[in-house]
Amino acid sequence: MGADRAGGMGGERRGRRPVFRSLPWKIGSLVAAAALAVAVADGLLVHRLSQDRMMTEGRSRAMTSLQQEVTTSERTGGALRDLITDPAEMPPEVAAIGRAGKEGVWYDTRVRNGPRMWAVTPLGGGGMGAVWVDMSANRRDLAALDRNLAGAGALTVAVAVPAGILVALRLRRRVRHAAATARRIADGDLDARIGASGRVHDEVTEMAAAVDTMAAALQERLRAEQSFTADVAHELRTPLMGLVTSAELLPEGEATGFVRDRVGVLRALVENLLEISRLDAGAEHADLAPVPVGEVVAESVRRTGLDARVAVDGAPVAETDPRRLDRIVANLVINAHRHGRPPVEVRVARDGGDVVVTVRDHGPGLPDDLLAELRADGPRRFRTGTPERGRGHGLGLTIAAGQARVIGARLRFANAPDGGAAVTVRFAASDEGTSDGVPG
C-alpha cells in the first residue's frame, strides 16, 4: 500500500522519569545541600570566633592573675600559694618559656580535670613564677554553643528542604501543565492554551505566554489555509460541473474517453478537497447507530468495483456511522490496489471489546523509515511514496484518518509478517444487536 497511508494517531507518551531525576528531587537536594553547607560554614565560623574569644579571655585572666600574684609577693616579701616558682611543678613548655627569660602564656589540654591556661614571667635572681586558671567552664560553654549551632543547623535544613520541595512541586505542576498543553497543540487541539497562573510573573509565565501566542498565530494561519483550500475547491466546483457536462456531450472516441477520465479524476480531487476542508473545520459530526459491520464493509468493497476478498468472523456489531465507515473502507481498499499488489484482503473480526477491520495487500510493504514517519506524524496531504510504488494525489488516507477521528476509531499501520502492508481500523463493539456476516 502507498506512502499516502497515515501512521498512528500520535506518538507514544514518554515514560515517567525516575524519582531522583524529577524536578522536586533535584531542587530539594540542592536546597538541602545549600542549607547544610550554610549551616556548617556558619557553625564553623561561630565556633572559631567563640574559641578565639575564649582563648583571649583565658590569656587575659591568666596574665592578670600572674601580675597580681607577683605584685603581692614582692610587697609581702614571700611566695604566695597560687604563685608557682618551682619549674618541676610546671608543664615543660611553661618552664621553657621562663628559662628563656620571657613572659608568656600556654594552654594545657592534658589535664584530666579540664584545660588550664598558664602564664609565666621571669623573677629576680634568675627565677620564674607562673600561675594557671581553670578553663573547664569555658570549654563547657563552647561545647554547649556547638550543640546549639548543630541543632539550629538541623532545624534550618528541616525547614528549608520542605519549603524548597513545595516550591519545586508548584513549579513542576506549572511546567507539566505547560508541557501537556503543548502536546495537545501538537496533537491538533489548537484551542488549547496554558493561560496565566495566578499573580506570579516569572520565566515560566513568560514561556506560557509565548506558547499561547505561538498557538494563536498557528491557529490563525491554519484557519487561513483551510479557508483558502475550501474557497478554491468551491470556486473550482462550478466550472468543473460545466466541464463534466461538456465532456458528456463529446462524441464517442478514444480522445473523448481520455478527456472524461481526466475530468473524473479532477472531479474526485475537488470533492476530496471539499471533504478535507469540512474535516479541518470540524463541521463533520458522526450519526452513530448500531451497525452490522460485516455487511457495511462487504457492500463498501462491492461499490468500489475492485477485486478484494472479504472475510467476516461472526456477526460483529458496532456503534458507528455507516456512511463514514463506508468512506474509510473504500479509501483503504482503493489505496491498497493503487499502491500495493493483489490479492487485497479485508477481514472483519472482534478483538475483545472492539471490532477490527483489517485491509492488507501483498505488495512490498511500507519502508521502515516511512512507516515510522507515518506512525509518528499521521498522514500528509499529497504525500506519496517512491515512483515504483505508484502515484496518487495523497488525499485518500488523509480523509480516512479524518473520518476515523470523527467516529472515534483508531487507525494503525504496519507491515504484515509475510509481506504487504496492513491497515487496521479499531472501534468499540456494540452489544445492542447482532447481524449475519456477509463474507465476500
Rounded distance, CA 440 to CA 425, Å?
A: 18
CB count within 10 Å of CB 391 equals 12
Hey, what's the torsion of the CAs at 167, 173, 179, 184, to 10 degrees? -160
pLDDT score, position 9: 41
In this predicted structure, which of 79-83, 129-133, 294-298 has the lowest mean pLDDT?
79-83
Whether the Cβ atoms of residue 47 and residue 152 lie closer than 8 Å to each other: no
Q: Which residue did the predictor score with more confidence, 394 or 409?
A: 409
Residue 49 in this model has a pLDDT that exceeds 90? yes
3-state SS, one letter per residue, for 237-255: HHHHHHHHHHHHHCCCCHH
Predicted local distance difference test score (pLDDT) of residue 120: 92
What percentage of residues in the chain have a pLDDT greater than 90? 11
Q: What is the pLDDT of residues 231-254, one digit of tens each?
A: 776 777 778 778 778 877 778 877
Q: What is the DSSP string of 287-314?
A: --EEEEHHHHHHHHHHHHT---EEEE-S
**pLDDT on residue 11:** 41
- Distance (Å, rounded) from C-alpha 213 to C-alpha 219? 10
Identify the H or E element spanning 158.
helix 136-186
What is the DSSP pairing of strand 289-292 with strand 421-428? unpaired
pLDDT in tens, 328-362: 888 888 888 888 888 999 999 888 888 889 999 88
Asked whether the predicted pLDDT for residue 21 surpasses 50, the reply is yes
Task: Convert the pLDDT of each residue in 192-202 to its tens digit.
Answer: 888 876 666 77
pLDDT at 393: 44
pLDDT computed for residue 60 by the predictor: 93
Statement: residue 104 has pLDDT above 80:
yes
Task: Give per-residue burial for 114-140: e unless 16+ CB within 10 Å, then b.
Answer: ebbbbbbbbbeeeebbbbbbebeebbe
CA gap 333, 425 in Å, rounded: 12
Main-chain phi, psi angles of 16, to 5 degrees? -65, 145
Over 60: is that where the pLDDT of 54 sits? yes
